[in-house]
Amino acid sequence: MKTIIILFLYNILLIIPSIAQEKIILEGTIGKYPIEMELEQNYDQISGRYHYKGKQNYIDLKGSVFNEGIITIVERYNDKVTGEFYITKRGDHWKGKWVGKRNYFIDLTPIKGDLDAYPSDEELKQKLSSDPTGTYVYEEKFIRGGITSNLHSIPQTRYYESFATVKKGEDDKLVISFEVVGGVGFVASLSNETIEPIGDNIYEFRAKDFTDEECHLVFEFKDKNLKIIQKSKAWPCGFGERASADVEMPKVDDKVKLSK
């Protein structure tokens, strides 16, 4: 009887790794370029490869699942980092951003199996530090509405996405870079600007342009989220006329991972 039980448990142990590492196949696009991707997920760790359709060279992938259902994947070609994926589940698709020498939107569809972006283990969600430094990403939110004119209503779909990196500055200051996109031409961004503390995990940026108008932004760090509040008009900050920096985005990495 003991021999049967031991053999039964041994067979289970052989089966478990194969289940955890079942291949996941996705197809889609990086920008306008079609790709095919093969991944394996073992709890919060992801590995695999992908190639551009019509090309034979594979690019290696390795990534992790973070809180808020965001998956980050680093790609390497010839042992050199060539880009990073930041994706979230939207309906039946995985969408987000590919960041390398240039930035592209990503749209992937599962063909076989699927990724699990929401591990049940609470320890996974606690992996990130509460320190404000790191990378924040909020990707892909569609708002469907309309523009009403005197003649008719024009359907409209607008794309919202944002990311930010936060580093330590001098004294108690921080250095922030961010980009908030709210549709074509609706871009608000700063690059390597110093923000000063004005309260508990609250910082601000103030600067005047050549017309003496002030750009005023407030940054609140709470529950591993970054909330940007625009207190001034857009144009003194150098934003598009109809752009806004108002956004709240979750932390996805304790390190600065994105760059423009």
49-73 pLDDT, tens digit each: 999 999 989 999 998 876 556 788 9
Provide the β-strand partners of residue 239.
none
Q: Is the pTM above the cut of 0.75?
A: no
Q: List C-alpha distances in Å: 224 to 56, 122, 133, 229.
A: 41, 15, 10, 16
List the domain boundaries for the chain: 19-122, 128-253
Residue identified by tokens 């939110």 is 141
Of the pLDDT bands very low, low, confident and very high (cuts 50, 70, 90), residue 88 is: confident
What local confidence, expressed as pLDDT, does residue 64 receive?
A: 82
Which residues 6+ apart lie within 8 Å of 5 measured at CB? none
* DSSP tag of 69: G
Which residues 6+ apart lie within 8 Å of 162 measured at CB? 136, 137, 138, 139, 178, 179, 180, 181, 247, 249
What local confidence, expressed as pLDDT, does residue 252 receive?
A: 77
Of the pLDDT bands very low, low, confident and very high (cuts 50, 70, 90), residue 144 is: very low
> Once rounded to an integer, what is the mean pLDDT over residues 1-13?
40
Which residues 6+ apart lie within 8 Å of 8 measured at CB? none
**Does residue 192 register a pLDDT over 60?**
yes
Q: What fold does the segment set 19-122 form as a domain? A: Porin (2.40.160)
Q: What fold does the segment set 128-253 form as a domain? A: Lipocalin (2.40.128)
Of the pLDDT bands very low, low, confident and very high (cuts 50, 70, 90), residue 8 is: very low
